[in-house]
């Protein structure tokens, strides 16, 4: 595997994870900026949307990660702020970004449907870059797997410092610690699969946008597609110590997100038909 540290600036280590997350935000901004005219937004509006989503998204993603893995920070409070080392939960970032965008849209008097549709394809594009960062960082890794394209993470990130991947595999009984151990048990490249899936979602949403389908419902379509894909993908994850009824926290989130999104889609369709009937 590639060294998770891209380069160092004095005492500061710049990790590939942080570079890929930043690249994801830039890619999302680029895609929104290219499509802004379709939704009557100016470049400055897109910049404001991107900045607010980035700031609130990172805060929300980190807060949920700290809550979920509090045991990692109970004796190292300052580590909570080392976001560049990894440790973000997508759904926390999603919630944080949505709240910030809703507030911004209300203050600017922007139609929320247009804002949501503008951002919908950009979300999976940015997420795809983030998952590449996860692959290079060794977080959100897959279940034990020794077939084609299996990922082999080193057992130690530096002499005497155990790799978090190995730590979880030891706790799950996947591997036994031995003096000659140099690598963790090989794992499924689930982050790469997630990257491909997110790019496919982005392409599907752009196609729906081009055909004129799902007008004012593009964001809802994203939530439906993503929640189904994420639920299935989670079965390939290998980084969870505990599960509830065999399900990961993200799968449980999908179980309420999908019905909510389907309900929102149905209500939106009903409202659109009602408006069309009133016009006729």
Write the burial class of residue 54 (CB in 10 Å: 0-12 exposed, 13-18 middle, 19+ buried). buried
CB contact burial 220-244 (16+ within 10 A = b; e otherwise): bbbbbbbbebbbebbebbbbbeeee
Cα(105)–Cα(116) distance, integer angstroms: 10
Q: What is the SS3 assignment for 228?
A: helix
Any binding-site annotation on 131? Answer: yes
DSSP state, residue 260: H
Give the number of other Cβ atoms within 10 Å of residue 55's Cβ: 13
- Binding positions: 131
């Amino acid at each position: 595997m590639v060294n998770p540290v891209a380069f160092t600036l004095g005492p500061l280590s710049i990790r590939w994870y942080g570079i890929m997350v930043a690249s994801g935000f830039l890619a999302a901004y680029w895609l929104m900026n290219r499509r802004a005219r379709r939704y009557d937004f100016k470049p400055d509006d897109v910049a404001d949307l991107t900045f607010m989503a980035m700031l609130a998204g990172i805060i929300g993603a980190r807060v949920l990660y700290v809550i979920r893995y509090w045991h990692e920070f109970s004796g190292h409070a300052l580590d909570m702020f080392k976001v560049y080392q990894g440790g973000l939960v997508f759904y926390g970032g999603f919630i944080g970004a949505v709240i910030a965008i809703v507030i911004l849209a209300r203050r600017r008097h922007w139609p929320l449907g247009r804002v949501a549709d503008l951002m919908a394809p950009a979300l999976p594009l940015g997420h795809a870059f983030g998952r590449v960062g996860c692959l290079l960082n060794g977080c959100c890794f897959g279940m034990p797997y020794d077939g084609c394209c299996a990922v082999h993470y080193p057992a130690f990130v530096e002499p005497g410092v155990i790799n978090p991947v190995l730590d979880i595999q030891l706790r799950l009984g996947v591997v036994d610690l031995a003096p000659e151990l140099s690598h963790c048990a090989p794992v499924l490249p689930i982050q790469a699969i997630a990257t491909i899936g997110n790019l496919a979602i982005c392409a599907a949403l752009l196609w729906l946008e081009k055909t004129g389908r799902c007008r004012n419902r593009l964001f809802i379509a994203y939530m439906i597609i993503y929640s189904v894909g994420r639920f299935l993908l989670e079965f390939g994850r290998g980084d969870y110590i505990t599960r509830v009824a065999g399900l990961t926290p993200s799968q449980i989130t999908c179980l309420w997100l999908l019905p909510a999104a389907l309900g929102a889609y149905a209500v939106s369709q009903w409202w659109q038909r009602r408006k069309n009937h009133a016009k006729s």
